[in-house]
Structure 1
Amino acid sequence: MPDFREMYNRQRKWMFYLLSIYVLGWGFTTYKTAFLGLILGTCFSFIMLWMLVRKTEKFDKAVSAGKKVKSLGSLQRMAIAAIAVMIALEYPDYFQIVSVVLGLMTSYIVIMIDYFYHALHAQK
């Protein structure tokens, strides 16, 4: 599934770009808690994206081999999101909860933007 791996590599690159922008925002603006929340949420979002890719590859291999298919790990991703929110709630002086939630959604936003971008360029 090289196409899927290429998608993941593109999305990983965009996640790193966003993280670098968030770090610059944390370093050079007065919105420290907002940017730390975005950094925390995006880091956990990146972990969730990596887990989704790993589970999807296992899913593809199982379907190709005709074996029974397990879950794609939705419960694990929800647990990781809960851990990020608990960290933000434990340290409200450092992390803004709204920013953490937005950061957690970063991978899904990047996936959608990547899809639409390449869908539009495939038509040309």
Structure 2
Amino acid sequence: MSELHLMNQRYLKYIVYLLAIYVLGWGFTDYREIFLGLITGTCFSLFNLWTMVRKQKQFEKAYQEGKSIRSMGMLSRMAAAGLAVLIAMRYPEYINLISVVIGLMTIYVVIMIDFLIQHIRD
């Protein structure tokens, strides 16, 4: 299995655990708007991770074949983040906007923490 695939599996596992904690927080606390914002942002963050990994695989394949690739998908990731913010702005009574933004950044925090853990192990 490639290193990229293993990293993607670890990130997915961490994000699913975080989402489970957020769902429990949404279900059992009075901070429903905040946890729903975290859930929304983290789901879009997970989509952005999937897009990034898919584009990285396409880039590797194109590089091995000597071809070029148009982009790494930054526009689609930005559009997904914009959609998450628009959803939060459309339903402010249910979804906290700041929590959505924090949720969107979740994958990057997970990547940094995983990097530190792997660096310490090696």
Normalised by the length of structure 1, the TM-score is: 0.96
Q: 1:112 maps to which residue? A: 112
Percent of aligned positions that are identical: 52
Q: Which runs of 5+ in 2 are unaligned?
A: none
Q: 1:89 maps to which residue? A: 89
The answer as to 2:53 corresponding to 1:53 is yes
Q: Distance in 2 between matches of 1:5 and 1:52?
A: 12
Partner-residue secondary structure (3-state), 1:72: coil
Contact 1:59–1:69 under 8 Å retained in 2: yes
Matching residue's letter, 2:79: A
Matching residue's letter, 2:33: T
Q: 2:26 maps to which residue? A: 26
Q: Distance in 1 between matches of 2:64 and 2:110?
A: 28
Matching residue's letter, 1:8: N
The runs of at least 4 aligned residues of structure 1 exceeding 3 Å deviation read: none
Shift in Å, 1:65: 1.2
Q: Distance in 2 between matches of 1:27 and 1:16?
A: 16
Shift in Å, 1:70: 2.3
Shift in Å, 1:30: 0.6
Q: Distance in 2 between matches of 1:70 and 1:64?
A: 15
Kindly report which structure 2 residues correspond to 1:66-85, keeping only aligned pairs within 5 A, or say none: 66-85=66-85
Q: Distance in 2 between matches of 1:22 and 1:31?
A: 10
Q: Distance in 1 between matches of 2:54 and 2:82?
A: 20
Q: 1:64 maps to which residue? A: 64
Shift in Å, 1:91: 0.1
The number of equivalent residue pairs is 122
Shift in Å, 1:69: 2.5
Q: Which runs of 5+ in 1 are unaligned?
A: none
- Computed over aligned residues only, the root mean square deviation of the Cα atoms, in angstroms, reads 0.9
Normalised by the length of structure 2, the TM-score is: 0.97
Matching residue's letter, 1:19: L
